[in-house]
Amino acid sequence: MCGIVGYVGHRQALNLAVDALRRMEYRGYDSAGVAVVGKDADGHNAIHAVKRAGKIANLDDRIAEVGVDKFEGTTAIGHTRWATHGRPTDENAHPHLSYDGKVAVVHNGIIENFASLREELERDGIELVSDTDSEVAPHLLAQAYNEGDTAGDFRASALKVLNRLEGAFTILFTHADHPDEIIAARRSTPLIVGVGDGEMFLGSDVAAFIEHTKHAVELGQDTVVYLAADYYDILNFDGTPAQGNPFTIDWDLEAAEKGGFDSFMMKEIHEQPAAIRDTLAGHWDGERVTLDENNLADTDLKSFDQVFVVACGSAYHSGLLAKYAIEHWVRIPVQIEVASEFRYRDPVLGERTLVLAISQSGETADTLEAVRHAKAQGAKVLAVCNTNGSQIPRESDAVLYTHAGPEIGVASTKAFLAQVVANYIVGLALAQAQGTKYPDEIREIWNALEEIPDKVQQVLDTREDIAAVSRALGAVRTMLFLGRGVGFPVSLEGALKLKELAYIHAEGFAAGELKHGPIALIEDDLPVVIVVPSPRGVKLLHSKIVSNIQEIRARGAKTIVIAEEGDTAVEPYANWLIRIPQTPSIMQPLLATVPLQFLAADIAEECGNEDIDKPRNLAKSVTVE
Ligand code: F6R
């Protein structure tokens, strides 16, 4: 996490960098800062840095206090931070400067050997002013530039320092004596170059510069890029030439902005029909399911005898649904595990194991490490990912991209539904290859999937009814979510959304587990959401949950019942009834999740959280374990 931006060109760099940071803020908002390479009062080259704890608005205020005219210059780097080492304070904010004030550095990731480097710098009499691991880098660069065999050579000094850093990082260096250059490097965490006309950009992702150019270059692992206004040079860490991967960005700026909604999250909830449609697109050739971006041969798909799903948070919940679908359609066992636990035990994997790694960002460190572990054990890894060119798909054997578009709201909404759809596509491809479903059965499921975007739209159209529920509930203190069958992962997802957005206690349970403990939580007026399975599906499941609703009502709970149209059996037991269209049971989560997203956003507002796009303590992509 942390967002990084850079600019070298012919325009005033300050505003450009701050605007780019605004679009990176979803990656972390513990602090923000920029450094512009310009001149001091005597006309000498100098770095002008400004940084502040908190959101970018604080940085804006600080810049206004100091005066914009103090930041003249056409080269800048910037950073928005998600704190790892050191509290979110002004001192710990980036950029960090060197002891001689000539080097500015922004950094994303972790420098694992920072303690020994820090000791070494302190022995040399250098006083470090922050608690961060990052601050060692500018001092080391200044030392390398000021003395020894790399003295006066910015590029050689940067390479020398980079080769001393251990860990995963993206790092940008500027030097006052080289006002028209930036040197940047990436090891594991992302960095993209934007190529403009007489100007170059850097960003943790393309949203940093899509306003200015659609031409981008993805940097490979362990590469360094040297940037000037009109050219870039990519090197390996040993200084030998390396290649990047040029591509044209197909997102436009509007896609990355709010489009008339109060928040990105609201916009993204409303984009779900399109996200599903786009994720399905191209995977049905009229006869068969196709996995076009997938490198797994049909023989591989045929050979798998078990599936392991690894993912975190909402992506994990989408994986729980993959288990229901794949076991039902393919009749092979599916295990699922939160990625952070996976490699720390000893999962039994082999050549015939398919590991499904699900990640919106493609950067989540826990999932990435699980992928590496799975590959080391000889399993085949298929990534389900929303971010082109990110690390998880790069390290996987194959990838199925979700096409949800950029998700800026920190709480996942459209990417979650797109993941569920992608998981189902994988399930159908496996069923097809292994012959566990007849072609006409697969076609029928596919047709039902294709109807989902319109049905999601119907749920979106009930927005006002759902808002009325939250208004009536007000600022609740705790809330429970119950489900059975595929409704259980939905209840987990509903509870997670509420925790994230409203900062209140919320829990999801399998409704059948209630009587084994959680029912003790039920008290007068406790709001409980119940996701009711279709009465047209497994009849017993439906009647059991109706009994569960009665049990909690008898103990004073207020029930918010999500049930499909025509399910009259639940009507007497619902304080509020939210209707969703009829659909096959396995697809119901794609509809039932939507009201829970609205509910979480509305209750967050009732509870006083005004910025649902950036819930406290969270970051969009979690690149630390
Ligand atoms: C919840 C949420 C997180 C992510 C999780 C995994 O709303 O967004 O729980 O789902 O951090 O992130 P990705 O999918 O990027 O690996």
CATH number of the CATH domain containing 138: 3.60.20.10
Write down the pLDDT at residue 380. Answer: 95
What three-state secondary structure class fits 166? coil
Give the residue, out of 412, 419, 490, with the most ligand 1 atoms within 8 A of its beta carbon, to mutate for a pocket test. 412
Same domain, 586 and 556: yes
**411 CA distance to ligand 1 centroid (A)?**
7
Catalytic residues, which ones?
A: 2, 620
Same domain, 238 and 275: no
**621 domain-assigned:** no
Tokens 């040993």 map to which residue?
238
Percent of the chain's residues with pLDDT above 70: 98
**490 CA distance to ligand 1 centroid (A)?**
15
Name the least confident of 94-103, 164-173, 398-407, 599-608: 398-407
Please give the number of the atom of ligand 1 that sits closest to the Cα of 315: 10
Please give the number of the atom of ligand 1 that sits closest to the Cα of 415: 14
| Radius of gyration in angstroms for the set of CA atoms belonging to the chain, rounded to a whole number | 26
SS (H, E, C) 551-602: HHHHCCCEEEEEEECCCCCCHHHCCEEEEECCCCHHHHHHHHHHHHHHHHHH
Same domain, 17 and 86: yes
Contacts of 279 (CB under 8 A, 6+ apart): 402, 403, 404, 418, 421, 422, 425
Angle, helix 414-434 to helix 588-606, in steps of 10 degrees: 160
Write down the pLDDT at residue 618. Answer: 84
Same domain, 572 and 475: yes
Name the least confident of 125-129, 288-292, 360-364, 514-518: 288-292
Q: Do the Cβ atoms of 39 and 48 come closer than 8 Å? A: no
Give the residue, out of 204, 361, 391, with the most ligand 1 atoms within 8 A of its beta carbon, to mutate for a pocket test. 361
Separation of alpha carbons 295 and 108, rounded Å: 31
Q: Is 393 in the pocket of ligand 1 (CB under 6 A)?
A: no
Tokens 């072609």 map to which residue?
439
**287 domain-assigned:** yes
Give nearest CA residue, ligand 1 atom 10: 314
390 vs 421, residue with greater confidence: 421
Write down the pLDDT at residue 188. Answer: 72
Q: What would the two tokens of residue 485 be?
A: 């069958």
Q: Do the Cβ atoms of 308 and 335 come closer than 8 Å? A: yes
Q: How far is CA 65 from the centre of its chain?
A: 34
Beta bridge partners of 46: 38
Q: Is 367 in the pocket of ligand 1 (CB under 6 A)?
A: yes
| Side-chain half-sphere exposure of 555, counting CA atoms within 13 A | 16
Write down the pLDDT at residue 262. Answer: 87
Question: Is residue 1 scored above 70 in pLDDT?
Answer: no
Select from 403, 438, 457 the last residue of a domain.
457
Q: Is 310 in the pocket of ligand 1 (CB under 6 A)?
A: no
Question: Is residue 55 scored above 80 in pLDDT?
Answer: yes
Q: Largest Cα–Cα distance in the chain?
A: 83
Same domain, 189 and 334: no
Same domain, 280 and 383: yes
**415 CA distance to ligand 1 centroid (A)?**
9
Q: Do the Cβ atoms of 32 and 81 come closer than 8 Å? A: yes
Tokens 């207020």 map to which residue?
558
Give the residue, out of 312, 317, 420, 617, with the most ligand 1 atoms within 8 A of its beta carbon, to mutate for a pocket test. 312
Confidence label for 451 from pLDDT (cuts 50, 70 and 90): very high
Write down the pLDDT at residue 456. Answer: 98
Q: Is 189 in the pocket of ligand 1 (CB under 6 A)?
A: no
Question: Is residue 86 scored above 80 in pLDDT?
Answer: no
Closest C-alpha to 291, from 152, 489, 432, 175: 432
For the purposes of burial, counting CB atoms within 10 Å of the CB of 457, is it exposed (0-12), middle (13-18) or buried (19 or more)? middle
Measured over the CA atoms of residue 512, residue 516, residue 518 and residue 520, the dihedral's sign is positive
**588 domain-assigned:** yes
Write down the pLDDT at residue 293. Answer: 62
Same domain, 231 and 282: no
Please give the number of the atom of ligand 1 that sits closest to the Cα of 621: 15
Please give the number of the atom of ligand 1 that sits closest to the Cα of 392: 16
The letter for the amino acid at 409 is: G
Q: Is 528 in the pocket of ligand 1 (CB under 6 A)?
A: no
The letter for the amino acid at 87 is: R
Please give the number of the atom of ligand 1 that sits closest to the Cα of 387: 15
Separation of alpha carbons 256 and 159, rounded Å: 34
**401 domain-assigned:** yes
Select from 424, 457, 490 the last residue of a domain.
457
**622 domain-assigned:** no
Q: What would the two tokens of residue 67 be?
A: 């005066």
Helix (H) or strand (E) holding 280: helix 272-280
Give nearest CA residue, ligand 1 atom 11: 313
Same domain, 243 and 302: no
Give nearest CA residue, ligand 1 atom 3: 313
Separation of alpha carbons 102 and 119, rounded Å: 21
Give nearest CA residue, ligand 1 atom 7: 411
**570 CA distance to ligand 1 centroid (A)?**
33
Please give the number of the atom of ligand 1 that sits closest to the Cα of 367: 16
Average of per-residue pLDDT across 325-342? 95
* Per-residue pLDDT tens digits for 2-33: 889 999 999 999 999 999 999 888 777 789 99
247 vs 359, residue with greater confidence: 359
Q: How many degrees, rounded to 5, is the angle at CA 582 between CA 424 and CA 269? A: 65
Beta bridge partners of 604: none
Closest C-alpha to 484, from 450, 530, 526, 442: 530
Q: Is 312 in the pocket of ligand 1 (CB under 6 A)?
A: yes
Q: Is 434 in the pocket of ligand 1 (CB under 6 A)?
A: no
Question: b or e along 96-108 (b: 16 or more beta carbons within 10 Å of the residue's beta carbon)?
Answer: bbbbeebbbbbbb
Give nearest CA residue, ligand 1 atom 9: 313
Separation of alpha carbons 4 and 106, rounded Å: 7
**625 domain-assigned:** no
**370 CA distance to ligand 1 centroid (A)?**
15
Give the residue, out of 189, 205, 269, 314, with the most ligand 1 atoms within 8 A of its beta carbon, to mutate for a pocket test. 314
**209 domain-assigned:** yes
Question: Is residue 574 scored above 80 in pLDDT?
Answer: yes
**461 CA distance to ligand 1 centroid (A)?**
26
Say how many domains are in the chain: 3
**Domain containing residue 327:** 264-457
CA distances, 225 to each of 161, 204, 228, 241, 340 (Å):
14, 14, 10, 10, 32
Q: Is 432 in the pocket of ligand 1 (CB under 6 A)?
A: no
For the purposes of burial, counting CB atoms within 10 Å of the CB of 1, is it exposed (0-12), middle (13-18) or buried (19 or more)? buried
Write the Ramachandran bin of 384: left for phi over 0, alpha for psi from -120 to 50, otherwise beta.
beta
Separation of alpha carbons 480 and 476, rounded Å: 11
Q: Is 315 in the pocket of ligand 1 (CB under 6 A)?
A: yes
Closest C-alpha to 25, from 50, 1, 49, 51: 1
Separation of alpha carbons 52 and 36, rounded Å: 15
Give the phi and the psi of residue 351 in degrees, each rounded to 5: -65, -25
Same domain, 472 and 392: no
Q: Is 347 in the pocket of ligand 1 (CB under 6 A)?
A: no
Same domain, 205 and 318: no
Q: Is 98 in the pocket of ligand 1 (CB under 6 A)?
A: no
Separation of alpha carbons 76 and 60, rounded Å: 16
The letter for the amino acid at 253 is: L
Same domain, 247 and 338: no
Confidence (pTM): 0.79
**319 CA distance to ligand 1 centroid (A)?**
12
Name the least confident of 106-110, 172-176, 249-253: 249-253
Q: Do the Cβ atoms of 399 and 419 come closer than 8 Å? A: no
Looking at every residue in the chain, the average pLDDT score rounds to 93
Separation of alpha carbons 223 and 236, rounded Å: 5
Question: Is residue 245 scored above 80 in pLDDT?
Answer: yes
Average of per-residue pLDDT across 88-117? 93
**360 CA distance to ligand 1 centroid (A)?**
7
Q: Is 411 in the pocket of ligand 1 (CB under 6 A)?
A: yes
82 vs 371, residue with greater confidence: 371
Tokens 């049909």 map to which residue?
298
Tokens 């599916």 map to which residue?
334
Select from 457, 480, 495 the last residue of a domain.
457
Average of per-residue pLDDT across 588-605? 97
Write down the pLDDT at residue 28. Answer: 77
CATH code for the domain of 444 = 3.40.50.10490
318 vs 111, residue with greater confidence: 318
**253 CA distance to ligand 1 centroid (A)?**
23
Q: Is 364 in the pocket of ligand 1 (CB under 6 A)?
A: yes
Same domain, 412 and 277: yes
Write down the pLDDT at residue 172. Answer: 98
Q: Is 491 in the pocket of ligand 1 (CB under 6 A)?
A: no
Confidence label for 256 from pLDDT (cuts 50, 70 and 90): low
Q: How far is CA 491 from the centre of its chain?
A: 21
* Per-residue pLDDT tens digits for 455-475: 999 999 999 999 999 999 988
Closest C-alpha to 202, from 184, 224, 188, 175: 184
Please give the number of the atom of ligand 1 that sits closest to the Cα of 360: 14
Write down the pLDDT at residue 294. Answer: 60
Give the residue, out of 269, 317, 364, with the most ligand 1 atoms within 8 A of its beta carbon, to mutate for a pocket test. 364
**216 domain-assigned:** yes
Write down the pLDDT at residue 31. Answer: 92
* Per-residue pLDDT tens digits for 489-512: 999 999 999 999 999 999 999 999
DSSP state of 251: -
Average of per-residue pLDDT across 366-390? 92
